[in-house]
Structure 1
Amino acid sequence: MSQTPLSDSIHGIDLEVLRAKYRRERDRRIRPDGLRQYRSAAGEFGYYATDPYVPRADREPVTDRVDALVVGGGFGGLLTAAYLKKAGLERVRLMDEAGDVGGTWYWNRYPGIHCDIESTVYLPLLEEVRTIPALRYAQGEQIRRHAVALAEHFGLYPEALFHTRATALRWLDPDGEWLVETDRGDRMRATYVVVSPGSLSQPKLPGIPGIQDFRGHTFHTSRWDYAYTGGTADGELTGLRDKRVAVVGTGATGVQVIPHLARDAQHLFVFQRTPATVDVRDNRPLDPRWFQQQEPGWQGRRMDNFLASITGEPVDEDMIQDGWTSTSRLQRAYLSGVQETGLPRQEQQLLDELLDAHTMNGIRSRVDRIVQDPATAQLLKPWYRYMCKRPCFSDHYLQAFNRPNVTLVDTADHGGITRMTESGVVVGDQEYQVDCVVFATGFDVGVSGVLSGTLPVTGRGGRVLLETWREGPRTLHGFYSPGFPNLFHLGSLQNASAVNFVHILHEQARHIAAVVGRAEQLGSRTVEPGPEATESWQATLRQVAVDTTVFQAECTPGYYNGEGRTVRPLNYSPGPVAFHDLLARWRAEHLDEVIAARPGSAGEGSRAGAGR
């Protein structure tokens, strides 16, 4: 390595000592069962089948035809449905297992819920719908209401089906359309099908021995039981004033909900495996006059600026200036693979590691400044690199541990909670008697019905999608596959991702609508990539891939690294800005190649290498 301009001891940082500390803390938390330590929130002990917000209404099975069916009513599904209608499709149907639109913002209504991305760049189509966010980081209820406003604005409710789960998709070769079956007995047909499963839609529970023996009250944060707790998302949980409450989980949800539980419960036990990084949030009201002063197109410019800032692309100014953009350099290698230029790679990695250590030291120092009890402060300090877990921001979380009615229980040395009894939670040999257990244990990230097999897909000639993907997904740009005409996937599969995932979904929705709109313009109504274009895209992904598994392997276990079982995803590593530019070029040069000559054509679509 060439002589680095910075030494390992800058600002008193000894990287070898710090690395050893990080490894010891990681090893305390790694479990041999990995992801198997969790169980589904459905089944005998679970909450997935219940909807606490909207009663499920009986209805007759639907057997009609629509132009497009969008499976999923979160922002991805809403945006795709909206842009498909803009592209000229008349009958666009949303379908969701929830009782209304909103996706994760429909289910998650726990006290304190906010978005951690600034509302001006997170909430899509603000200018068109004329929503003015009240806060810089919007509350969950305003986000949900914005989703409803999108559905109303684009006229999506008349065709929508809620409390409905798709159970099978089958391509009908002679008719050139999809047969869609559901758990409500529906057998509808659709020319186009878009699957938008959401990245945080399937809640999970810890597989704690004895969890089913507990006789107190339990619920998952995504199915918050206000009938038991009282109050609203703003707090005032009066039903907990005489209750000893346990909360399991200290990730992004726990950081938001724990201050409210701490304020209102008689006593709160916080069961922590790994502390979160918690930096300043500084949420504040937004001035409505600011929105009136902006030139048209302001939101798109602001979204693009934020995306470029946090993924390493050059910008003239940082329009957002928050905790995400101020730590963008620490996110680049992990999220996009973008590196600073002008230094050898090893030297750049050393500089980034030193900056990471400096940032994490600041976060740990903040714990010392806020938390009064030294022993509790030590347990709340995160010992890992910045992007090992999703960063959190709060002005109230750490302060909650100064309350006399709050007890932090660290479970790291015991592999998590040891077991549950009829009346309590056990860690090691210590039992904590509680009346209620709140599971803030998150979701199965990125697991769709298509990938899990719960939504079987049969394409052209009887091909079964998961069988054709036995050795891994084969898509063009992550959207569609040979043999499965007019079927589109939304999400992070074989494309690019970012912190503001709604922006990613927005671009995906626009792309799908452009492809469908062109097919309609040509009078084809059949979209299907060819195997050559698909294989070319696989080769491109392999060529540009940045291996993050070494970084992940050194991280404390969590959902970012598969609970310590690191995998190397085949995504577009140059990042979302480059990916969106690539899609724009592809639409200009290759779009017609995925459109068959006529409806129901048996042709394989493109023979061009459209993967670059």
Structure 2
Amino acid sequence: MSKPSSNSNKNIRIAIIGTGFGGLGLAIRLKQAGFNQFTLFEKAGDVGGVWRDNTYPGAACDVPSHLYSFSFEQELGWKNRYGTSQEIHQYLRHCADKYKIRPHVQFNTEIASADFNAEQGLWQIQSTTGEKFEAEFLIAAVGQLNRPAYPKIKGIEHFKGKAFHSARWEHDYDLNHKRVAVIGTGASAIQFVPEIAKEVAHLDVYQRSAPYVIPKPDRIYSPLTRKAFQKLPILQSLDRMYQYSYNESVLKGFTITLNEIPLVEYMFQRHIRKEIKDPHFRHQLMPDYPIGCKRILISNYWYESLIRPNVEVINNDIEEITETGIVDKNGTLREVDAIIYGTGFAATDFMAPMQITGLKGTTLKEQWQDGAEAYLGLTVSGFPNFFMLYGPNTNLGHNSIVYMIESQVNYIIDAIQTHIQKNLLFTDLKADRQQNFNQEIQERMKSTMWSQGCNSWYQTAAGKNTNNWPGFTFEYRQRTRRFDLEHYVQVPVVSN
């Protein structure tokens, strides 16, 4: 089978894996650009990605709703300044319906592998059930936070009670009057712990590393405010611009040379001193690493929930899990009915467990054995016509990832259109371009707070930061404004 020779967009087949912000945003823009031979593969039965999966009590976003949405589809009915997971999922479902994307989605289809055929310029794709597909372009929109990470604890499989990860919340299990243990104190835990602390009989919170938590400037929009946004959409656009500009300025706090972290440190200290009066307990909740080195969390209820009489914070490491509970390093057994893992995601294991095979039989897993890297977080040398959304080094510590995704979507669509215009079979990123780009990123990373000696989900076990973008988002948009063909090896279609 040869690649379609027509320059018509209609003949180009595009495979997209995932239906979160990345997959849906790309699909909508492809449709607007005149492409209709695209298919989204979704392992679940509905769109929404991380916002479909994370339904734990209190799940919400830490970026304001007006900014955490597509620029071309601004929701005018947000109930809160910060959207709940249910609201955001509903927003993504609305986008899929409004732009008629659902007919392009193949639900309940998990992709197991994809192999590039250089002779035909085709990606040969296979699902976990053995279904086979072909496409000229393959785009992974699986994100960085889709695979729950479970801690490596001795005896974890022996526990006889109920155990689940916060990203796979079991709503049928009644926590009321139960003895519960929560392992982890990250972004998810600080949202669901205050909710479940109200109903459980007793809650043990196992804290390996205390987080920096500052107040969340959230509020419910009044009916009058919501009506004003609906009648005058320009008000929401202006608020979006303000939120973007403010968040962009926050980046200065994450660089050593322009360090504004003392202001955030002051907010943290004021918040914890106001909520936690006992100096001994406050000391127990103090992080042991520089502020900004890990994700700074926002919550108005975290510390309040920890001083409840039915809650105990345990700083001792866990020795093992038994059939009935958890044993700490001091040998103390605390028996529980349920364990909830608030241990985050396998964020540095990009694309796993899929096997993506490029030129010369090389897999992404082999190429990334020292940590994932890509040019602009989008393309990888040796993997032609393959793109990623929210790929390596495109995560943010200061602004909205949706803005980054829209920048990536522009680049991908320009790349596909360039292929058609130039009658190319495929393009492959030049190895030196990828190497130079990643040397630049890792060098710039050294002058950020993320590289100041702490372990975080941004880093591999060896300490390489594979997740964050070290610059401003407007710099990233400028660098992705067009598909820079000169950085790619070009293979033309051979006419018969």
Asked if 1:444 corresponds to 2:346, the answer is yes
Q: Deviations over 1:41-73 (max 9, x none)?
A: xxxxxxxxxxxxxxxxxxxxxxxx972110122
Q: CA deviation at 1:433?
A: 1.5
Q: CA deviation at 1:118?
A: 0.4
Q: Tell me if structure 2 keeps the 8 A contact 1:524–1:595.
A: no
Q: CA deviation at 1:368?
A: 2.6
Q: CA deviation at 1:171?
A: 2.5
Q: CA deviation at 1:283?
A: 1.5
Q: CA deviation at 1:144?
A: 0.7
The aligned counterpart of 2:404 is: 504
How far apart are the structure 2 equivalents of 1:518 and 1:186? 30
1:271-290 map, 5 Å: 271-286=206-221, 287-290=225-228
Equivalent of 2:356 in 422, 447, 457: 457
SS of aligned partner of 1:539: helix
How far apart are the structure 1 equivalents of 2:232 and 2:32? 25
Q: CA deviation at 1:372?
A: 4.3
Match of 1:249, as an amino acid? G
Q: Tell me if structure 2 keeps the 8 A contact 1:84–1:517.
A: no
SS of aligned partner of 1:546: helix
How high is the sequence identity, in percent, across the aligned residues? 25
Match of 2:252, as an amino acid? R
Deviates more, 1:172-181 or 1:505-514: 172-181
Please give the TM-score of this superposition, normalised by the length of structure 1.
0.71
Q: Tell me if structure 2 keeps the 8 A contact 1:525–1:599.
A: yes
- Of Structure 1 and Structure 2, the greater helix share is in 1
The aligned counterpart of 2:96 is: 151
Q: Evaluate the alpha carbon distance shift between residue 498 and residue 510 of structure 1 in structure 2; reply closer, same or farther with a 3 A threshold.
A: farther
SS of aligned partner of 2:13: strand
Match of 1:402, as an amino acid? I
Q: Evaluate the alpha carbon distance shift between residue 251 and residue 495 of structure 1 in structure 2; reply closer, same or farther with a 3 A threshold.
A: closer
The aligned counterpart of 2:8 is: none
Deviates more, 1:75-84 or 1:139-148: 75-84
The aligned counterpart of 1:364 is: 269
How far apart are the structure 2 equivalents of 1:502 and 1:474? 20
- Structure 2 unmatched runs, 5+: 1-10
How far apart are the structure 1 equivalents of 2:448 and 2:107? 43
The aligned counterpart of 1:219 is: 164
Q: Tell me if structure 2 keeps the 8 A contact 1:177–1:192.
A: yes
Q: Tell me if structure 1 keeps the 8 A contact 2:125–2:133.
A: yes
The aligned counterpart of 2:204 is: 269
Deviates more, 1:134-143 or 1:498-507: 498-507
The aligned counterpart of 2:294 is: 389
SS of aligned partner of 2:163: strand
Equivalent of 1:331 in 248, 254, 279: 254
How far apart are the structure 2 equivalents of 1:197 and 1:210? 31
Match of 2:326, as an amino acid? V
Q: CA deviation at 1:194?
A: 0.3
The aligned counterpart of 2:230 is: 292
- Structure 1 unmatched runs, 5+: 1-64, 230-239, 313-324, 334-338, 341-351, 602-612
Asked if 1:419 corresponds to 2:304, the answer is no
Q: CA deviation at 1:378?
A: 2.3
Q: CA deviation at 1:123?
A: 1.9
Q: CA deviation at 1:262?
A: 0.8
The aligned counterpart of 2:383 is: 484
How far apart are the structure 2 equivalents of 1:217 and 1:180? 37
How far apart are the structure 2 equivalents of 1:474 and 1:253? 27
Asked if 1:246 corresponds to 2:181, the answer is yes
How far apart are the structure 2 equivalents of 1:471 and 1:211? 28
How far apart are the structure 1 equivalents of 2:142 and 2:44? 12
How far apart are the structure 2 equivalents of 1:373 and 1:188? 61
* Aligned residue pair count: 480
The aligned counterpart of 1:582 is: 479
1:168-179 map, 5 Å: 168-179=113-124
The aligned counterpart of 1:197 is: 142
Asked if 1:524 corresponds to 2:470, the answer is no
Q: Deviations over 1:50-109 (max 9, x none)?
A: xxxxxxxxxxxxxxx972110122111111122222221112211122222111111110
The aligned counterpart of 2:281 is: 376
The aligned counterpart of 2:309 is: 404
How far apart are the structure 1 equivalents of 2:79 and 2:449? 38
SS of aligned partner of 1:111: coil
Match of 1:442, as an amino acid? G
The aligned counterpart of 2:4 is: none
